[in-house]
Amino acid sequence: MGFFDRIANVWRGFLSLWVSDLEARNPEAVYEAAIDERVRKHRDLKKAVSGIVYLRNKLSNELEEKEAELREVMNQLPIAIEEGEDDVALVLIQKKDELTGQIEHLSAELAKVSDQAEEAKAGLLEFQSEIEKLKREKEEMLAKKANAEARISIQETLDGLSTEADIKALENVREQINKTQAEADIGSEIQGDSLDAKLKKIRAKAQDSSARNQLEEMKRQMQAQRASASEGAGVKKTI
């Protein structure tokens, strides 16, 4: 083998690997191409079968015509003999023999072509069945592929090995939400330590203290009033 032959073999090998990889990554396209090719062959086969059926029908019509002519001759022959028309009778006999031979030949040809037509039609139906079977296989295999890919993706996700874009997007969203929450928490914490917050606390305590002082004062006044009322009542009883 020469140098250029070896180079050609190497390139054919690379091309074969590239085509195989392309087919593996595009199974739907491979199935579609196979189905389209079978549909094209089915169309060509259908044309061939239609030609055989046409020939069968043509032979059948010719046979019917010859049989009709033979019946007509067989009806005319006795009349010619009875009327003594020997010349006519001889012609009719020759015509009968000729038609009989043609009918035998046409019958044999028709039987042969009819068998071919039935066989061709059966092959056409079988080919159509193969196309439908391949279509079903395509749907089943693509469903298996999708299911397997989904299972692999789920397993990779569970194992923490997934590199799918949607998984990364979810992780980014979760991280961003957590950062936003942290910013909100920091704002709350800073607000709690601010001067305004301290002043609010002091005002609240002052208001509470003032209210308590007022309450205590009101209690003392009420006790003083009750004590004064009791003393007044004692003086009246002594008098």
DSSP secondary structure letter of residue 51:
H
pLDDT greater than 90 at residue 58: yes
Q: What is the b/e burial string over 185-201, where b = at least 16 CB atoms within 10 angstroms of the residue's CB?
A: eeeeeeeeeeeeeeeee
Same domain, 229 and 126: no
Same domain, 130 and 77: yes
Same domain, 218 and 144: no
End-to-end CA distance of the chain: 152
* pLDDT the model gives residue 170: 72
* pLDDT the model gives residue 18: 41
Higher-pLDDT residue of 148, 162 = 148
The pLDDT tens digits for 37-50 are 888 888 888 888 89
The pLDDT tens digits for 191-204 are 555 566 666 777 77
Q: Provide the pLDDT confidence category of residue 108 given band limits of 50, 70 and 90.
A: very high
Same domain, 142 and 24: yes
Residue range of the domain that includes 185: 163-193
Higher-pLDDT residue of 108, 218 = 108
Looking at the 3D structure of the chain, how many domains does it have? Answer: 3
Most confident option among 77-91, 133-147, 198-212: 77-91
Same domain, 43 and 134: yes
State how far the Cα of 28 lies from the Cα of 34, in Å rounded to an integer.
10
Percent of the chain beyond pLDDT 90?
21
* pLDDT the model gives residue 44: 86
pLDDT greater than 70 at residue 145: yes
* pLDDT the model gives residue 239: 54
Give the sign of the dihedral formed by CA 190, CA 194, CA 198, CA 203: negative
Higher-pLDDT residue of 156, 57 = 57
Q: Provide the pLDDT confidence category of residue 187 given band limits of 50, 70 and 90.
A: low
Angle at 216 between CA 214 and CA 217, to 5 degrees: 65
Tokens of 94: 């020759």
List the single range of 91-100, 131-140, 208-217, 228-237 with lowest mean pLDDT.
228-237
Same domain, 130 and 170: no
Q: Which of 100, 50, 51, 104 is nearest to 71 (CA)?
A: 100
Same domain, 176 and 227: no
Mean pLDDT of the chain: 78
Same domain, 46 and 100: yes
Tokens of 57: 């029908």
Same domain, 57 and 104: yes
DSSP 147-211: HHHHHHHHHHHHHT----HHHHHHHHHHHHHHHHHHHHHHHHHHHHTSHHHHHHHHHHHHHHHHH
Same domain, 156 and 224: no
* pLDDT the model gives residue 13: 47
* pLDDT the model gives residue 138: 85
CB atoms within 10 A of CB 209: 10
* pLDDT the model gives residue 69: 92
